[in-house]
Structure 1
Amino acid sequence: MAGTVNRSIPGKVDGCPAAPLRWLFPLRCLACGEAGAHRRDLCAACHAALPWQGPACPRCALPVPGGGPCAACLAAPPPLDRVHAVFDYAFPADRLLPRLKFHGDFAAGRVLAQCMVDALSAADRPDALLPVPLHAARLRRRGYDQALELARPLARALQVPLLAGVLRRTRATGAQSRLDAEARQRNLRGAFRVDAGDGLPGHVALVDDVMTTGATLHAAARALRAAGVRRVDAWVCARVA
C-alpha cells in the first residue's frame, strides 16, 4: 500500500522552525495581525471566534438541529457514508482558507490543520486518508495541492496512512465556484480515476479544504466505491451552508 515519505529537515519540525527557535519569531495572528495565543498564529479573540461547526447532518454536514440526517440525505443517500466538517465557512476560517488555496500561505494551512487535528481526533478512524487531488495542469500552475497540505499533517498527527496519488483527477474541469449545483455535477462526471495497485483499504476518508455542494467529493467517492472501497467518509476543513 503506497504512502508518503517523511523527510526530516535539520532544525525544522513539520517544515517549521524547531521549537527552541520559536522565540525568534513571535506568533502573530494571521487574521488580524495581533499577537498570537494558544501557541498558534491566531490571537485570543480570533481563536475564540473560530466557527466550529455545531449539530449537522452526518451525511452532508449541513446544519441540522439535533444533528440527525437531513431530509435530502434521507430521500437520496449520498455516496459518502459520513462527512465531518470542522468549521462553518465563516470568519476567520473564510479568510484563512483562501490564503492557503490561492496564495500559498502555508502558515494559514498549518493553523487550519492544527484545528482539524483537534476536531477530528475523536472521529471514526479510517484505514487511510486520501487528499482530493487537483488536475495535473492546475497543480503545475499553482505549484501545490491545498488538500494535500491539510492531509499531510493530519495523517501524521493522527497516525493514519496517507495515500497520495492513488486518486487522480483525469479531466481538467472548469472552476466549480462559477457553476450552480447541477452544472457542478455535470462538470465532474467521470473526472476521477483510482490507481489501486495492490488494492485499497475498506474504509477511507477524503480530505478537502471546503465543501460547497458536495459535487467534487461525491464524484471522488463514486470512483472509490467502483474500485471496491466499502466505506468512504469526508473530512473537510469548512462547510458552506
Structure 2
Amino acid sequence: MTTTVNQTQAHRVDGEPGVGASLEAVRRRLGHWLRIDASRLLWPSRCLVCEAPGLEGLDLCGACCDALPWNRCACPHCALPLATPGVCGACLRRGAVRARRGRAPLLDGVHAAFVYAAPLDRLLPRFKFHRDLAAGALLSQLVADAARQWPRPHALVPVPLHRARLRRRGYDQALELARPLAQALELPLRGDLLWRTRATAAQSELGAGARRRNLRGAFAVRCPDALPAHVALVDDVMTTGTTVLAAAEALRRAGVQRVDAWVCARVP
C-alpha cells in the first residue's frame, strides 16, 4: 500500500493559515520558499508572467495564480486530462495488450501538476530553452504543492540530458526542477542514478513512432547495487510519454520495484 506525501489540506499562499495552525506548520508546508529574508523585504516579488506585484512568497500575481491550469482530473496511467475520473481509452488498450503478453506496466503511476496551457505555456519554454531559472524555481514551488498529494517515493530521479546537450544548454532543466522539489518534500535526490548513454534527436521534432525509436536504449543505470525500491522520475513536460517510459524501462531492468513519473505539465 502506498502512502501520500502529505494529506494536509492546502492553504492559500496569499491568505492566512487556518485557525490554530502554527508558524512551524506553515514553514513545513511551503518549506524554504516562504523564508522572508532581507531581499524579499527590499525587492517584493513580481509576477513572472505579467510583471504585476506577486503574492507573498510567490513570483505570481493573484490573477495568474487563479488562471493556473491544474490537472486535477486525469488518467492515473498517463496523466491525460479527462472530463471525468477514470482511465483513458489508450491506456485501457495498452494495458490489455501488456496483460495478454504477461508484461507489467513500466510506470505504476503518472502525475502532472498542470495541463500545458496558459500561463504554463509561457513559463515552461522560458525555463527550458531560455535560461530563466527563476521560472524554474516558481514551477518547482507549484509542483511541490501538488506533489504533496501524490504517492511518496523513496527518491526523486531527474530525467537526464546527454552531456552534449547539457554543454550546449548549460543546465539540465529536469535537475533544476527536481532539486528544490526534493528539498521542499524532504526526499532524497538521486541525480547520480540514471544517465543518458547517447545523444538523441530532440523529441519535439519527431512523431510518435520516431520518438520511440529515437529513445530505444538511450538510458542506463549507473549504480545497480544501491537502488531505492520506489522512485519518481521528474521531468518538465510530457507529450507522448516516450521519454519517461524509456527511463522507467532502464530502472526496471536494473531492479527498481516501482517507478512513477512526476511532470510539471501534460500536453493534452
TM-based fold match above 0.5: yes
One-letter code of the match for 1:154? L
Over 3 Å counting, the alpha-carbon distance change for 1:43 and 1:18 in structure 2 is closer
One-letter code of the match for 1:69? V
Other structure's SS at 2:84 match: helix
Are the aligned partners of 2:34 and 2:57 in contact in 1 as well (CA < 8 Å)?
A: no
Q: What corresponds to 2:213 in structure 1?
A: 186
Deviation at 1:23, TM superposition (A): 1.7
Deviation at 1:99, TM superposition (A): 0.9
Q: Which of residues 223, 226, 232 is equivalent to 1:205?
A: 232
Q: Distance in 2 between matches of 1:225 and 1:26?
A: 45
TM-score by length of 2: 0.82
Q: Which digits, 9 at most, give the CA deviation of each residue in 1:154-207, with x for residues without a partner?
A: 111111111002100111000110111111001000000111243211110000
> 2:79 aligned with 1:52, yes or no?
no
Q: What corresponds to 2:111 in structure 1?
A: 84
Q: What corresponds to 1:176 in structure 2?
A: 203
Count, aligned residues: 229
Q: What corresponds to 1:131 in structure 2?
A: 158
Q: Distance in 2 between matches of 1:15 and 1:53?
A: 23
Q: CA RMSD in A?
A: 1.8
Deviation at 1:127, TM superposition (A): 0.6
Q: Distance in 1 between matches of 2:34 and 2:170?
A: 19
> 2:52 aligned with 1:25, yes or no?
no
Deviation at 1:214, TM superposition (A): 0.4
Are the aligned partners of 1:58 and 1:67 in contact in 2 as well (CA < 8 Å)?
A: no
Other structure's SS at 2:143 match: helix
Q: Which of residues 178, 189, 199 is equivalent to 1:162?
A: 189
Point out where structure 2 has 5 or more consecutive residues left out of the alignment: 1-30, 96-104
Are the aligned partners of 1:205 and 1:235 in contact in 2 as well (CA < 8 Å)?
A: yes
Point out where structure 1 has 5 or more consecutive residues left out of the alignment: 1-12
Q: Distance in 1 between matches of 2:126 and 2:60?
A: 14
Q: What corresponds to 2:88 in structure 1?
A: 70
Are the aligned partners of 2:75 and 2:87 in contact in 1 as well (CA < 8 Å)?
A: yes
Tell me which structure has the larger Cα radius of gyration. 2
Percent identity, please. Answer: 63
Q: Distance in 2 between matches of 1:14 and 1:137?
A: 33
Are the aligned partners of 1:225 and 1:232 in contact in 2 as well (CA < 8 Å)?
A: yes
Other structure's SS at 1:65 match: coil
Are the aligned partners of 1:131 and 1:208 in contact in 2 as well (CA < 8 Å)?
A: yes
> 2:251 aligned with 1:227, yes or no?
no
Q: Distance in 2 between matches of 1:222 and 1:231?
A: 11
